[in-house]
Structure 1
Amino acid sequence: MENDTRAELPAPTQRSEGSSDVRPATPPRRGGARGLLFVIVVLAVAATAFWWLRETREQGAQQAGVLDARVEALASSGEQLKREVESLRARLADAESINRSLREELLGAAERARAVEDAVAHLADQRLTGRDALALNEAEFLLQIATERLRLFHDAAAAITAYRLADSALAAAEDPLFASVRQTIGAEIAALEAAQSLRVQPTLDALANLRARLVNLPSRANGLAAPAVDPPESRFARVFGQFVRVSRTDAQPTFEVRDAAITRSLAALDLRAAEAALFARDAEAFTAALVRARGGVTAAFDTDAEAVRNVLGEIDRLAATPMAPQLPELGSALGELRNLRTLRALSREVPPPVQDSSR
């Protein structure tokens, strides 16, 4: 519109060259253009305001619809929640009644469990008491057997075995009151082991070994062995010579000039006599038989030979070992066990002191 306004204005008068007249331009009419421009702006603002108001109303209507839908949804949700709360309240009431009944049942079960525990403890006490009584009876019997075995037969090995069995029986008892008895049993076992008594089976094996070694012992070189005799020429002499041998010696027929075979037989018999004395627990006869066997071996065989020296050394070892050494006196553990059993029996029989209710 501004361009149109400018077009309506008269064009300025051009001055021709050579002309001296100057015609002034006509001034533009500005008041009408401004009014027109103001009207246009007002119309644009009004159109914009109308459009904005219309859009605002439409958006308000839409938002109102959305809000109504939301309100309806919230109302329905509120109703649903209310129904659920009522249901939860009913369930909670049912759960409280069930919990109350369960609590009562639990209390009753606790009482019954306490009664069962008391009964089981009573039974366990009776079982332990019976087992301890059996273990103590066994230990006392074994200790008494060990004492009598040592007193009658001087058998320290059997006594040690019985003492160890008694210690095992006391270990099975759960009452710590008898721990001191086990210590006393250990001390008496150590005293029995320190006695170093002669054991039967190893000694019998050693004597049997000595008898077997006598066959291979070398004889003396001074005529103790049978003299060499020329074989007889006649058949009768050869047959008769197998049973009878005739020889001559200038010396007296003493023990030192006996035949080596006879000496071996006598030494073997002396070792047999030592075995018999060992079975009979005769220490003097055992030592005497070993001394006789040693004298025969020394007189008939070469003492410079290593085999003979070994045999003599073994005989000396057996003779030096006491068959019945000085054994300790037993009975301390047995007496202590009996005293403790009597003490425990008395403590269980004494009733507890009655408290005075008037205090």
Structure 2
Amino acid sequence: MSASPDSPAPTPQSPRTAPAASAPVRRRSYAWLLWLPVLAVLAYIGWHSWRQMQVREARERAAVADADLRLDALDERINALRNDQRSQNRRLQQADSTNRVLRDELHGISTRASLIEDSVSKLADPDRHGAQAMRLDETELLLTLGQQRLQIAGDLAGARSAYALAGGVLDGIDDPAYLSLRQTLMQERAALDALGIDPRVRAMAQLDAYSRTLNLAPVADAQAPALRAPWWERAFGNILDIQPSDGAVALRPADRAVALAGLQLEISLARAAAERRDDAGYRAALTRADGWLQRLMPDSAARERQRATLKSLTALPLSLSVPTLGSTLQQLRQLRTAH
């Protein structure tokens, strides 16, 4: 294109002055970038501080939890130690009781060993076998006599004497095989001693005491007519007397004499039955005596007391009861058979 002659000619621009006008603008646009590292550093420092704070709080919480766990473990350990101490105390007490029992058993074993040693030391005696057989025969005879005197004759004193003699003879036997026999004999003698008085003798003594304490005073005479009785009762009262036959009290002297004789007879029969240990006869006689007693005494508290005493006498045992009777004799025969 050709330039018009009227237009002004363009002024040439200098290469140095043209970019100078835009330089401040470009410098202002990039100035904020200089703050980015500072902000990044500040953000990192803040994040790092917050992170350290979180880590420190976590460590503190962990330390507190660990301390709690240690305290709980310490409490459990203390409780376990206390339980161990209690169990050790119980074990010590059990050990003391066990040692006490062992000492007693050891003492018994030593005593038995000394007895066995004494028995063994006498085994060399050539005459011991004949003497021992004779002593065993004598012991068996005495035990048999004692058992028969108690069972047949009821002689408690004789049975005790026979068993005491058998114990003395048995003590002279030094054979260890008969040590248990002595213990059985001691138990049987203790059972005989525990019987006390013979039941038959006790029953007879109480029956005699009861017969002496009977109060059989005569009842008021019913033959004397009352002043206000009718004339026919005063006239015929001695001829005819109407009263119930069951449980009637004997009022006339002849009736009372018969009833008294019947009572004394029944008491005598009961005493004889007790003498021969007849339980059925003894109780039957006292039952009949109760009937005669009702004939002799009117219905009163005194009669009921007498009847109660009579019932207690009826319930008395007459026979001896020794469950272990004959056990020593049976064991002796078994040992002799075994030897």
Aligning the two structures, in what range does the TM-score lie when normalised by the shorter sequence?
0.3 to 0.5
Q: TM-score, normalised to structure 1's length? A: 0.45
TM-score (norm: length of structure 2): 0.47
Q: For the pair shown, which has the larger CA radius of gyration, 1 or 2?
A: 1
